[in-house]
Amino acid sequence: MVKICCIGAGYVGGPTMAVIALKCPAIEVAVVDISASRIAAWNSDQLPIYEAGLDEIVKQCRGKNLLFSTAVEKHVAEADIIFVSVNTPTKTRGLGAGKAADLTYWESAARMIADVSKSNKIVVEKSTVPVKTAEAIEKILTHNSKGIKYQILSNPEFLAEGTAIEDLFNPDRVLIGGRETAEGQKAIQALKQVYANWVPEDRIITTNLWSAELSKLAANAFLAQRISSVNAMSALCEATGANISQVAHAVGKDSRIGPKFLNASVGFGGSCFQKDILNLVYICECNGLPEVANYWKQVIQVNDYQKNRFVNRVVSSMFNTVSGKKIAILGFAFKKDTGDTRETPAIDVCKGLLGDKAHLSIYDVQVTEEQIQRDLSMNKFDWDHPIHLQPASPIGVKQVSVAWDAYEATKGAHGICILTEWDEFKTLDYNKIFDHMHKPAFVFDGRNVVDAEKLRQIGFIVYSIGKPLDA
């Protein structure tokens, strides 16, 4: 029986390994992590992450060919294929701080693999890493090898949070990069066989190591760029009377462009887009390509601009001050169908409003009070881009309360900011909400999810991203 071990039981490691276990009953899958609380959660009824369909798969496979454990060394030693899916955040100190990927977790995983391995291994980069990371990993492994042979593969993960299981079941592509040697190609074939259990062959792409590593950064940069492009257009729409939904529809009809990922919003978030673009920027700078670096930096700058623009719109619409006013924040997760708040635009928007002394009542379908309080009391790292939304002084935690539902959040509020596109925000009883708000009652729809016309008929003053104010 082939044995797989995945180091890192996070948003990527957990779901990807659960799907491999489900689709490959003949493979034993161990998911290991140094975080005892995360592993305990994976072994409980309350999984550490929310993804539609994940609970059922874990329940079906756990105790059969899927296990979650803190016995990292034991399972690494026993495995034939080791996926490394540890976090690769942006460095906060030292060389490359604010841009470069922090590979500390990766390096410690690689050193541990070298320490405990007693048989040849295939080591798979599942984390998103800078191009050429495999070279560094190879050095660490081979210099500590004790005669054991390692093949490094790059197999970046393209799943999107919120649709992780669907994406894993039916991926647009599976990308596997490896060395062009006979051993490298053999390793590629071994990993290909795993995916071939459910992924059609024509969707499994094989490349050299550097192409695979760079493709992941490139894909995220392209996706984020698309959002910044439509958001930049949304500002121009507001200034000219054009409507971003109509513009996006017309533009997306061009088959070279396509209709997906053209929704204007308050900005992109999530743990990956900003971090991966910063990483790309750093790699460009290190390779003597400052113009290319500046090109990609703009994607982040437009994103910051969009969040800032939203905050300014809220404050200026509410008579240039939100001091002491209650603002209901509907949605805190960085997108719908996930409880993940990493780099969510809600953090910057909330901090911007708190900086103007607003009182916030926050409701999200999945995000917990603990997450919200933690995210809002943390000072974001001072990134190397010009727009800063954080107030200079620490947040007064008393300015923030967390509500059980949208009705509680909006009771007695002067304004509502919709920051996540949760479906339930489309169907709230806005008549009831209007009745219990201060007047004039404002709605600032950062995701363009509500029917602005209907809300205006009720009496709300509505701002939608990229749409004329009187539309």
Binding-site residues from annotation for NAD(+):
8-13, 33, 38, 86-90, 127-128, 161, 272-275, 342
Annotated binding site: 8-13, 33, 38, 86-90, 127-128, 161, 272-275, 342
The residue (of 87 and 225) whose beta carbon lies closer to ligand NAD is 87
Alpha-carbon gap, residue 208 to 184, rounded angstroms: 9
Catalytic: which of 5, 61, 237, 272?
272
Rounded to 10 degrees, the C-alpha dihedral 48/49/52/53 comes to -40
Site residues (vs ligand NAD, CB under 6 A):
7-13, 32-35, 38, 72, 85-88, 105, 108-109, 127-128, 157, 159, 161, 271-272
The residue (of 87 and 228) whose beta carbon lies closer to ligand NAD is 87
The residue (of 237 and 300) whose beta carbon lies closer to ligand NAD is 300
Burial of 393 (0-12, 13-18, 19+ CB in 10 A): exposed
Three-state DSSP state, 10: coil
Q: How far is the CB of 356 from ligand NAD (least distance, A)?
A: 32
Residue in this structure with the two tokens 């920027």, named with its chain if needed: 281
Task: Judge if the upstream peptide bond of residue 440 is cis by omega within 30 degrees of 0.
Answer: yes
The residue (of 261 and 407) whose beta carbon lies closer to ligand NAD is 261
Query: Is 61 known to be catalytic?
Result: no
Rounded to an integer, what is the distance from CA 277 to the centroid of its chain? 13
The tokens of 369 are what?
Answer: 């009070």
User: How many CB atoms within 10 Å of residue 459?
Assistant: 14
The residue (of 128 and 366) whose beta carbon lies closer to ligand NAD is 128
Q: How far is the CB of 102 from ligand NAD (least distance, A)?
A: 10
Listed in sequence order, the residues at least 6 apart from 414 whose beta carbon sits closer than 8 Å to its beta carbon are 318, 322, 325, 326, 327, 437, 438, 441, 442
Q: How far is the CB of 352 from ligand NAD (least distance, A)?
A: 25
The tokens of 455 are what?
Answer: 């809300």
Q: How far is the CB of 272 from ligand NAD (least distance, A)?
A: 5
Bridge partners of 125, per DSSP, are 84, 154
Q: How far is the CB of 273 from ligand NAD (least distance, A)?
A: 10
Q: How far is the CB of 167 from ligand NAD (least distance, A)?
A: 9
Amino acid at 220: N
Phi, psi for 240 (deg, rounded to 5):
-120, -10
The residue (of 115 and 451) whose beta carbon lies closer to ligand NAD is 115
Phi, psi for 315 (deg, rounded to 5):
-65, -45
Rama region for 110: left / alpha / beta (φ>0; ψ in -120 to 50; rest): alpha
The tokens of 287 are what?
Answer: 């390779």
- Show which residues are catalytic: 272
